[in-house]
Amino acid sequence: MHDDSFVQRLAGEGVKVIRGEPMKRHTTWRIGGPADYFVEPDSVDALRASVSAARDHGLPITVIGRGSNTLVLDGGIRGLVIKLHDAFAHYEVHEEECAVYAMAGRSYVALANIAIRHGLSGLEFATGIPGSVGGAVMMNAGAYGRETCEVLDWAEVMDETGAVTRLSNRDLHFGYRYSVLKDRFGIVTWAKFQLRPGQRDEMRSLVRQWSQRRIATQPLSFPNCGSVFRNPEGTHAARLIEEAGLKGLVRGQAMISDKHANFIINLGNASASDVLWLIRHAQAVVRERFGIQLETEVRVLGEPL
């Protein structure tokens, strides 16, 4: 359902709205149906205008960053999708306080490399996380045994009225792949990461080792969303899926990677329903074989066809 008055209102505020934008253009899986409305605001004011207009028109709001860790269903997303990308990629380095500040659309990998370049340690783990700063805060993203909550000082968050509040680390109630922003509406605009002095060469060497391991063990040449399942206590999801004999299983154009069983890859033109079938099949077989319920790390958005 399209509402011209919504589009006209935002056009009047200098915000360009796209109707029916295919979400597969905006996810790392290259999967997803159309968004009713899609905007890429170029400022905090444009973001506020988008949120206010959607609220006044009764449209649900979905916020994405770099589209990793996200499965958009084939029927697409109702309401307004807001993508925070290059206009929300500003950052500041304050070496004297060992801190980096970044807007929500900044690549987490890029921010980690900026910190390393300035001799600031603490974000090295983020070189393995292909999302945005905003997504990392919302999900408490982690890798290599470290998590975002260990280095985040505060995040500035816009609510559904357009007001921006600074939430401390404690206010965000972090847990495993969790913050309070998963349960209530809030759009991260800026975040501050408190780091410590580090040796550039040591940090670069560690990151290089991790990168080589990722290239050797992960199917990075195919569109994917990163790890699909959380690792259950005391074991690895990939090991369970492999031992269940599911490595290399294909459904349509989606495949449980034969390189790393906790990755589902898009072989070319996979649908979200192909991916969901593989996820549910892996969960059922692992539950039957090992009595373990695999939980997904992936954010599922939108509606089926």
CATH of the domain at 102: 3.30.465.10
- Judge if 72 and 97 occupy the same domain: no
> What local confidence, expressed as pLDDT, does residue 126 receive?
97
> What local confidence, expressed as pLDDT, does residue 266 receive?
98
Residue 214 lies in a domain: no
245-285 tens-digit pLDDT? 999 999 999 999 999 999 999 999 999 999 999 999 999 99
Residue 3 has pLDDT above 80, yes or no: no
Residue 105 lies in a domain: yes
Average pLDDT over residues 40-52: 97
Total domains in the chain come to 3
Average pLDDT of the chain? 96
Residue 125 lies in a domain: yes
- Judge if 193 and 96 occupy the same domain: yes
Which token pair is 160? 């559904």
For 7, residues 6+ apart whose C-beta sits below 8 A from its C-beta are: 17, 19, 37
Residue ending a domain, choose from 50, 83, 116: 83
- Does the annotation count 239 as an active-site position? no
- Does the annotation count 295 as an active-site position? no
- Judge if 96 and 175 occupy the same domain: yes
Residue 226 belongs to a domain with what CATH number? 3.90.78.10
pTM of the model: 0.94
Residue 210 lies in a domain: no
Residue 189: name the closest of 162, 157, 163, 167 by CA: 157
**Which residue is catalytic, options 19, 177, 230, 239?**
177
- Judge if 172 and 268 occupy the same domain: no
Amino acid letter for position 240: L
Residue 20 lies in a domain: yes
Residue 101 lies in a domain: yes
**Which residue is catalytic, options 50, 107, 179, 227?**
227
Residue 2 has pLDDT above 70, yes or no: no
Residue ending a domain, choose from 57, 83, 109: 83
- Judge if 111 and 199 occupy the same domain: yes
Residue 1 has pLDDT above 60, yes or no: no
Q: How far is it, in rounded angstroms, from Cα 226 to Cα 69? A: 6
- Judge if 4 and 77 occupy the same domain: yes
Which token pair is 297? 């790390």
61 phi-psi bin (left φ>0, alpha ψ -120 to 50, beta other): beta
- Judge if 95 and 198 occupy the same domain: yes
> What local confidence, expressed as pLDDT, does residue 295 receive?
96
CB 15 within 8 A of CB 49: yes
The whole domain housing 58 covers 1-83
- Judge if 279 and 230 occupy the same domain: yes
Average pLDDT over residues 280-300: 96
- Judge if 75 and 151 occupy the same domain: no
**Which residue is catalytic, options 132, 179, 297, 299?**
297
- Judge if 199 and 274 occupy the same domain: no
Percent composition of the chain: helix, strand, coil (DSSP 3-state, to 5)? 35, 25, 40
Task: Name the pLDDT band for 4 (thresholds 50, 70, 90).
Answer: confident
Residue 80 has pLDDT above 90, yes or no: yes
- Judge if 193 and 274 occupy the same domain: no
Task: Name the pLDDT band for 18 (thresholds 50, 70, 90).
Answer: very high
Residue ending a domain, choose from 32, 64, 83: 83
- Does the annotation count 179 as an active-site position? no
Q: How far is it, in rounded angstroms, from Cα 18 to Cα 41? A: 12
- Judge if 99 and 77 occupy the same domain: no
Pair type for strands 77-83 and 34-39:
parallel
